[in-house]
Structures are given as C-alpha cells and as structure tokens.
Amino acid sequence: MLFCPGCLKYGIDGLYSYNYSDKPPKSDALIVSMGYHTIHIIPVLDGEIMFGNSRRMNIGGFHVVSFLHRMLQLKYPAHTNAITLSRAEELLHTICLIALDYRVELNKWMDPDYYETNTKRIQLPYTANVCTAGLTAKGTEKELARRLIEINARKREERLAEDEEKLQQLLEIQDNDWNDYEQEKAFTEYQIKNYEDLQKNIAFLTSRIEKNKRKIAAAMNGEEIVEEPPIKQVKTNKFVFETEKALQTFVQNAKKKRQEILNRKAARKQRKQDMAKRRTAAGQERMRIISQLARKEKGNDDFGLRDEDWDIYKTISRDGADSDSETENEKLLELEEIIRTHEPSEEDDTFGPGEAHQLHIGVERYRAPELIFKPYMIGSSEAGLSEVIGYVLSLFNDDDQLRLASNIVLTGGPANLPGLQERVHSDLISIRPFKSFSAVSVLPNCTLSSWYGAKAWAHTDDFKKTLITKQDYDELGGDF
C-alpha cells in the first residue's frame, strides 16, 4: 500500500520486487513471495498475472521464528526469560540453514565429532558475581570453623549423655546388695574385673562428666575452650602442607573416608530396598521370621518378655537401626569441602559462570527452517513449499510449465536463508519430468526489494494514473 496526500495505491509486494529488480524482468516467471505470515506462489505468463492459479501458504517467517523460539525454551527451561522472540529471529537469520536433504543431515548429527564441530554456542547475557579469591578463601575458612564448632559441641552433649547413663548404671551396681552370681554377671556385662575396677570406672566417668559440663558451659558463654588433644581437624588452608606429597596423601585419605561413608549409605539404601521386595533374600528372611511367630499357638501376647525376642525384633527391623545419622552426613559434607578446596576438579577449573548461560544450538539450525517444507511439524495440514510449487505448475500445460519452471524467483525475508535456493531446485528436479529444465534464483536484497520496487514505481507516470483519490472512494465506495 502506497500513500500520497489525499490518495493511495494498493499493490502486491512480490510483483513490486520482481518488476523493479536490478535486472530487467522476464515475461514468464513463477514468483515465490515469502512473507512474515504467508507465502504466495504467483505465476506470470507473457507479463500477465495468473491470479486464478495463484496459491497461498499460511506459513511464513513468523512461524519459523516461533518454532525455533519454542524449541530453545523447551531445551533450556532455565533460560526461558532470556530466550525471546527477537533473539530467536536473530538466530534464524545468522546461524540457521536449510538442508539439501533433511534426513541425511539428521543422520550426520548422530556422529559426536560432527555435532561438536557444527554446534553453535550462543552466549546469553548474565551478571557475574565479583569477589576476590582472598575473600572467598576467608569466608570458606570461617564457615568450616563454625561447622566444626557445632559438630564438636554436639559430640560433647552426646558423650555427656552417654557417660551420665553409664555412671548411673555403675552406681546401681555399687549400691545393690547382690549375691556373688548376680554381681559376677553384672561385672561381665559391663566388662569390669573386680570391685576396685568398678570404683576406678566410677571415678573416671565422674571426672569426665565434670570436664564436659565445664566445656559446654564455656562454649555457651563464648569463652575459649582449652581441651586436651582433640580429634585432629586438618585446616583447609593449603599452606599447612610442607610438600606436595603430603598434600596428595591428605587428599587421598579424605577421598577414602568419603568413599567409605558413601558405601555405607549405599548399602543401607540397598538393604532397605531389599527388605521391601518379596523375592530378595532379606525380604524372604523377614517373612520367614514373621511366619514362624504367626504359627505359634494363640494365647497371651508375651512377645518381648524373653531375651531372645529382642534378637528377633532387631533382625526384623535391622534397617531402622542403621539409618543415616546427622553426624555422618555432616562428616560427608566436611570431607567434600576439604577435597573441593585442595583438589578442584578439571570441570571446576574450566566451567566458568558464562558457560552456564550458553545455548548450544545444533540440529535446531536445520529443524526450524525445515518447517517451510514440512508444516506438519507444528500440526498444520498444509502441504510444503515444494509440493505447492509442483501443484501450481500442474495447473498449466506442458509448454507453460516449462516456461514457468525455467524462471522461479524467490523473494522476501526468508529467502535469505542459506540453502533455500538449492533445496527448492533439488525438490523441483524430483517432481518435474525427467531431464526437464528448471532454474531457481533469489532476488538481490530480497528483504527490502518490495520497498525499493514500490519506491521506483512511485516515480513513474503510471503511478499517478492508478491512484485512488478521496473523490473515487466517495463515488465508487470501499468495495471498488
């Protein structure tokens, strides 16, 4: 549509592009005008437009961009907001191509080397966290120190509770007037040799309980705790090691301890799964014990009164007693932090923050433009571009088909896609008669060729003769 003061002119963008291209247009042509929402196939014979045989496809550049946009959002859901329609359109016109044979191209992408070579990596914008290495190391040391303090405090409380319980039991043994048999049985249970050994254990536990209570009170008041040589905690500072060999030995020991914890956790998990299954050895043993108990004669429920009943209970519920402890999980976190501090993996060294915000676009480069030839990829029942061109040609006789096929002109924004001209020509050869001639060309500057064509035509004398003025509109109406 062209505007002038008080008048306007309607026109077909594909014809503007063809008639005012750099080269003088031929009288016979099959114009393929590829727009943003539609594609028009317009046959021209002897300079006359065959409107009755023209066809429209409801597929255009917008559908290709939207298809690429949805594919990338599904592939990278974490970057949904960063993958916009405008960015998808930019990717379409910069890195996307049309395959000469789509199936052959898909098979190529199954090769890992081909995938790595032809994948395009697009960097998305991101905000990097700026912090110095020194501050990070200090923060890590403080966090580890705080965690170790909490672990030691929890261990003291657990040890204090255990010592108080054991002391109470030893005092009961001391105060009770048992005969020799009962006293010998109690000494054997608590691994005590004689009465003097019992007194030593009571004195030792009493002294240790007092020390633990003082340490807990000092920790609550924020005072410095002076302990006897505790369990050695190796600092995460790399400068504590005199040689590289000492560092490697320390890291290997940490890895070994971490693997032992992981193995125990995996074994417990597997045992728990086995107990829940009927056909495993653990599940069958559990059911065997339960069935034996069920076969006993009915009577008073006295299960638990005998010592052997406790062994049966522990056998049945063995998994419950071996659940992951909080101390074990904290120890695992501590070991992983030590290993990460002293021996960063290659992935940590090479994987920067920018790589987490990259799009790896591989086969999508070909899949999105293929929509022009396969509209069913978005659920459309229309035929593809090559089939529509073949159908339009079939509406003419053999001579006219040859004239049209010898000058197929592509114009519009999507015509800039690399490989489109070769693909249309290849498909045309497959649908045309054997050894028949065909030629496909793309107009120069096809994105703006319609605008330049309309501009050039606006400077001709015919332009003013075909304008629709306000007087014409008032006299003839809007349907003219």
CATH number for the domain spanning 399: value is: 3.30.420.40
Do 247 and 321 belong to one domain?
yes
Do 462 and 403 belong to one domain?
yes
Q: Per residue in 280-318, pLDDT tens?
A: 666 666 666 666 665 555 555 555 556 665 566 555 555
How many Å separate Cα 452 from the centre of its chain?
45
Q: Decide if 427 is inside a domain.
A: yes
Q: Decide which of 310 and 334 is more confident.
A: 334
Q: Which residue pairs from 334-337 have beta carbons closer than 8 angstroms and sit at least 24 positions apart in sequence?
A: 334/144, 334/147, 334/148, 334/151, 335/254, 335/255, 335/257, 335/258, 335/261, 336/258, 337/140, 337/144, 337/236
Q: What is the C-alpha to C-alpha distance for residues 170 and 190, in angstroms, rounded to an integer?
A: 8
Instruction: Choose one of 297, 332, 367: the last residue of a domain.
Output: 367
Do 68 and 52 belong to one domain?
no
Q: Is the pLDDT of residue 335 over 50?
A: yes
Contacts of 314 (CB under 8 A, 6+ apart): 321
How many domains, the chain?
Answer: 4
Q: Is the pLDDT of residue 135 over 50?
A: no
| Beta-strand runs (E) in 46-87 | 48-49, 55-57
Q: Is the pLDDT of residue 350 over 70?
A: no
Q: What is the C-alpha to C-alpha distance for residues 216 and 153, in angstroms, rounded to an integer?
A: 7
Do 36 and 80 belong to one domain?
no
Instruction: Choose one of 204, 233, 262: the last residue of a domain.
Output: 233
Do 107 and 72 belong to one domain?
yes
- Which range (114-118, 140-144, 162-166, 344-348) has the least confidence? 344-348
Which pLDDT belongs to residue 346? 42
Do 53 and 73 belong to one domain?
no
Range of the structural domain that residue 221 is part of: 133-233
Do 345 and 281 belong to one domain?
yes
Q: Decide if 247 is inside a domain.
A: yes
Q: Per residue in 148-196, pLDDT tens?
A: 778 877 888 888 888 888 888 888 777 777 677 777 777 777 777 777 7
pTM over 0.75: no
User: Hey, which residues does 32 pair with through a beta bridge?
Assistant: 41, 410
Do 83 and 97 belong to one domain?
yes
Instruction: Kindly list the distances between the CA atom of residue 352 and the CA atoms of 129, 336, 349, in Å, as whole numbers in the listed order.
Output: 11, 20, 8
Q: Per residue in 98-113, pLDDT tens?
A: 999 999 999 999 998 9
Find, among 10, 12, 11, 1, the residue nearest to 42 by Cα.
12
Find, among 204, 205, 128, the residue nearest to 165 by Cα.
205
Q: Is the pLDDT of residue 320 over 60?
A: no
Q: Decide if 80 is inside a domain.
A: yes
Q: Decide if 17 is inside a domain.
A: yes
Q: Decide if 431 is inside a domain.
A: yes
Q: Decide if 72 is inside a domain.
A: yes
Do 342 and 446 belong to one domain?
no
Do 243 and 350 belong to one domain?
yes
Is 368 buried (19+), middle (13-18) or exposed (0-12) by CB count in 10 A?
A: buried
| Cβ 386 vs Cβ 158: under 8 Å | no
Instruction: Choose one of 210, 233, 256: the last residue of a domain.
Output: 233
Two tokens, residue 167: 């002391």
Q: Decide if 125 is inside a domain.
A: no
Q: Which residue has the tokens 């030593």?
A: 200
Do 275 and 252 belong to one domain?
yes
Q: Decide if 373 is inside a domain.
A: no
Do 71 and 137 belong to one domain?
no
Mean pLDDT throughout 413-424?
Answer: 93
Two tokens, residue 239: 């400068």
